[in-house]
A and B are shown apart, each in its own frame.
Chain A
Amino acid sequence: DAKTTQPNSMESNEEEPVHLPCNHSTISGTDYIHWYRQLPSQGPEYVIHGLTSNVNNRMASLAIAEDRKSSTLILHRATLRDAAVYYCILDNNAGNMLTFGGGTRLMVKP
């Protein structure tokens, strides 16, 4: 399975944009890029996913590099409630078998 590499932790200031990077140099042509986040004491929560084109939804934006070897999750205006562990996951959509790595722990400072 193709793997992802994320920084262990990042800090952001409240109300500022946050760019969470993910490297996936061994991604295959059929792999979708999924992002989930996990708030303290809760189960993971779906954020966004994409294949080749950039994607936007009410929670975030996903920017995918042209060669698809990296992607960036963008939170346009961080709030204290965005403090969570963010997981970048690859899935070839042949069964939605998500393999979670260690993720990035995002800390938001007031």
Chain B
Amino acid sequence: EAEVAQSPRYKITEKSQAVAFWCDPISGHATLYWYRQILGQGPELLVQFQDESVVDDSQLPKDRFSAERLKGVDSTLKIQPAELGDSAMYLCASSRGWDQPQHFGDGTRLSIL
């Protein structure tokens, strides 16, 4: 079964640095999501795309976080500058449509020193 690909798997960086995560959804999936998961908690939705358009980014800290899906396929989530509190797992998910089950990647674990 096709999977959602995420890279890198792990990222360690110092605070104030820039960091970027990449996600390649399952082919044909129009809807793409980015979640943040703090250790011991459930995932929290950051942003949702429908094709290349942002559907909801109300929970995205826009002063430091940005997300794009320029061609409506793969997506990048960026943090600049990173803060200690950004240490978490960043998960990408995709679905055929907004009313279909979401398929998750295995995430990028970010550690800020």
The finding on whether chains A and B are genuine partners in a shared complex, rather than unrelated, reads yes
Report which residue of A43, A96, A101 has the largest number of chain B beta carbons within 10 angstroms of its beta carbon.
A43
| Contact yes or no, B56 A45, CB < 8 A | no
**Per-residue interface assignment for chain B, residues 71 to 101, with 1 indicating a CB less than 8 Å from any chain A CB and 0 otherwise:** 0000000000000000000010101001111
Contact of A97 among B4, B43, B48 (CB under 8 A): B48
Contact of B45 among A34, A45, A93, A99 (CB under 8 A): A99
Question: A106 CB to closest chain B CB, in angstroms?
Answer: 15
**Inside 8 A of A85's CB, which chain B residues have their CB?**
42
State whether the Cβ of B103 lies closer than 8 Å to any Cβ in chain A. Answer: yes
Q: How large is the interface on A (under 10, 10 to 19, 20 to 34, 35 or more residues)?
A: 20 to 34
State whether the Cβ of B25 lies closer than 8 Å to any Cβ in chain A. Answer: no
> In the assembly, what is the distance between CA of A101 and CA of B43, in Å?
8
Known contacts A95-B48, A95-B56: A46-B43 contact under CB 8 Å: no
> In the assembly, what is the distance between CA of A95 and CA of B45, in Å?
12
> In the assembly, what is the distance between CA of A34 and CA of B50, in Å?
21
Please name the residue on chain A nearest to B50 by beta carbon.
A95
> In the assembly, what is the distance between CA of A40 and CA of B99, in Å?
27
State whether the Cβ of B7 lies closer than 8 Å to any Cβ in chain A. Answer: no
**Inside 8 A of A49's CB, which chain B residues have their CB?**
101
**Interface residue ranges, A against B (CB under 8 Å):** 34, 36, 41-46, 49, 85, 87, 93, 95-103
